[in-house]
Amino acid sequence: MTDDTAVTKEKALKQRLKKEGVELVRFIAGAAVVYLAITTLLFRTFYIPSSSMEPTLEVGDRVIVLNFMYGWSRQSLPFGLGDHLPSGDGRILGRLPARGDVAVFRHPACDPSRPRATNRCEHLIKRVIGLPGDEIEMRAGRLYLNGELVERDLVDIVRYRTYDTREIVNPQLFEESLPGGKVHKIYERSDSNPLDDGLQFVVPAHHVFVMGDNRDMSRDSRDRRSLGFVPTEQMVGKAMTVLFTFKSCRKEATLECPNTWDRWMKPL
C-alpha cells in the first residue's frame, strides 16, 4: 500500500466519522425537539411522593397528566424552562378546571427568582373542590359548598400500614358526591382535625380551592399558611390515570394492601 493510498483512506475514514457524528447530533436534537413538543403540548408524567391523595393515588404511582386540558402556559414547559418566561397568566386557550378534577399545579409561593433552597416551586397534586366565587366551609368535619352539605356515604373502615411512618391506621372510607355528579373516594381518620371545623372561604377570581382525598393527611387550601388558594396561572394539567407504580405494599395479615391493577389506566 502506497503512502497516497493510506492518506486517502484516512481522509475517507475521517469524513465518514464526521458525517456519522453530524447525523447522531441531528438525531439527538430531533428527539429532544419531539420530546419537548410532546411534554409541552400533550402530556407529561408525574410521580406521587406522598399519601395526601389516598385512596385515589398511592405513594409511588406515576400518573399521566394532560397539559392541554386547562390551556398552555409557561407552566406547561418541562424542566422549569417556563421559569425563564415572564410571570403572569399568559395562557393559550385557557379554561378553568372542572369541579372534581385531580389537578397538578406549581405551589402558589413559587418564586423562581429566589435561591433554590428557599423557593417553593414543587409540583403538587390535589382535587379541585371550589371554583371562583364558591363559598366553602368546614363544619364539624363536614364539607359545605355554597351553603349545601356535600354528601358522603360510608363504604368501609380500612386498616393499613402507612408508607412514611409505618404506623397502622384505621380510616373510614367514604364516597363523596360533589355538585355536578363527580363521585370519588376519600379517607377520614376523624372529624376533629384542626382543618375540619370553623373554617370559611370564598374563592377569589382566577383561583381554585383544592383538597387532598386523604383529608386528615393533606395540607391543602384549608391551610392558608401552607397552601391556600391556588392561582389558575399555576395550573399544569389534569391527571387522568395511573400509568404504573414504583412501589407496592408488603402483604400482611388483617391489613389492606392496595392493588395497583385497581388504579392502572382507570379514570381518576
Instruction: State pLDDT tens for residues 78-121.
Output: 877 777 776 666 788 889 999 999 999 999 888 776 766 566 78
State residue 116's pLDDT score: 62
Instruction: State pLDDT tens for residues 17-75.
Output: 778 777 888 888 888 777 777 777 788 999 998 999 999 999 889 999 999 999 888 88
Q: Residue 1 above 60 pLDDT?
A: no
Q: What are phi and psi of 235, to 5 degrees?
A: -70, 135
Instruction: State pLDDT tens for residues 211-267.
Output: 999 999 999 999 988 899 999 999 999 999 999 887 777 778 888 888 777 788 888
Q: Which amino acid is at 132?
A: P
| 103, 238 Cβ separation under 8 angstroms | yes
State residue 256's pLDDT score: 85
CA atoms within 13 A on the CB side of 230: 30
Sketch out the chain's domains with CATH numbers. 42-262 (2.10.109.10)
State residue 117's pLDDT score: 56
Residue 45 CA, chain-centre distance (Å), reads 9
Instruction: State pLDDT tens for residues 148-178.
Output: 999 999 999 999 988 877 889 999 999 999 9
Instruction: State pLDDT tens for residues 181-201.
Output: 999 999 999 888 888 888 999
State residue 78's pLDDT score: 82
Q: Is the peptide bond before 258 cis (omega within 30 degrees of 0)?
A: no
State residue 77's pLDDT score: 80
State residue 255's pLDDT score: 87
Question: Among all residues, which ones are annotated catalytic?
Answer: 52, 126
Q: What is the dihedral of CA 84, 90, 92, 93, to 10 degrees?
A: 150
- Name the DSSP letter for residue 68: G
